[in-house]
């Protein structure tokens, strides 16, 4: 039994040694003098340039930061304004989806509507939205049939959302457009 235990120890040692020798992290690349910069900042820049490093915060590119809020997205705002009468189950801006709860206007008993809107892009265009409308018809509270409505309601919702989004986008551009006055003597704008 002692020999078997000794054999397993030796086998474990060789497996461990083989694992360590195959690790890329333990292999050192021989370099010539002058290939590696002396200054730490220069070494970091070289490693990043060669794809051997990463940065958590790139201070040179984004000094102020870029913030994208739901209120600044015209499609998102237009969608919420269009379906504001319906209760929402989920509105996930980062995931790009809005899902409503089942809605019944009170006039048609036993029939409810549920809408899901997926945003495929932030640009205001016809293929930016994937809208699905589901109808639930219930004869009793237990006996319900759910089906996807691919009729005119989807088209009407898409048109309504895109019209509102286009108006919001136009208002945003008009509000943020810089106004220049041109002087009579030259072609340089005054701010």
pTM of the model: 0.55
What is the per-residue pLDDT across 79-122, written as a single tens digit (0 to 9) for each? 999 999 999 999 888 888 999 999 988 887 888 999 999 998 88
Could you tell me the pLDDT band of residue 40, with boundaries at 50, 70 and 90? Answer: confident
Q: Distance of CA 55 to CAs 59, 61, 72, 149, Å? A: 9, 12, 28, 48
Where do the structural domains in the chain lie, given as residue ranges? 70-176
For residue 37, what pLDDT is reported?
Answer: 76
Please give the CATH architecture assigned to the domain spanning 70-176. 2-Layer Sandwich (3.30)
- CA 138-143-149 angle, to 5 degrees, is 45
Q: Which two tokens stand for residue 173?
A: 């551009």
């Amino acid at each position: 039994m002692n020999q078997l235990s000794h054999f397993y120890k030796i086998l474990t040692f060789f497996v461990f040694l083989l694992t360590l020798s195959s690790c890329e992290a333990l292999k050192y690349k021989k370099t010539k003098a002058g290939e590696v910069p002396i200054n730490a900042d220069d070494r970091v820049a070289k490693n990043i340039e060669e794809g051997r490093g990463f940065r958590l915060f790139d201070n040179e590119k984004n000094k102020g930061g870029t913030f994208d809020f739901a209120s600044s997205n015209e499609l998102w705002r237009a969608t919420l304004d269009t379906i504001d009468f319906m209760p929402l189950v989920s509105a996930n801006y980062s995931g790009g989806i809005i899902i409503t709860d089942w809605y019944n206007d009170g006039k048609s008993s036993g029939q409810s509507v549920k809408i899901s809107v997926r945003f495929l892009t932030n640009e205001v265009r016809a293929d930016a939205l994937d809208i699905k409308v589901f109808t639930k018809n219930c004869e009793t509270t237990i006996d319900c049939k759910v089906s996807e409505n691919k009729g005119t309601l989807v088209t009407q919702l898409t048109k309504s959302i895109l019209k509102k989004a286009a108006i919001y986008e136009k208002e945003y551009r008009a509000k943020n457009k810089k106004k220049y006055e041109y002087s009579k003597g030259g072609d340089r704008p005054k701010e």
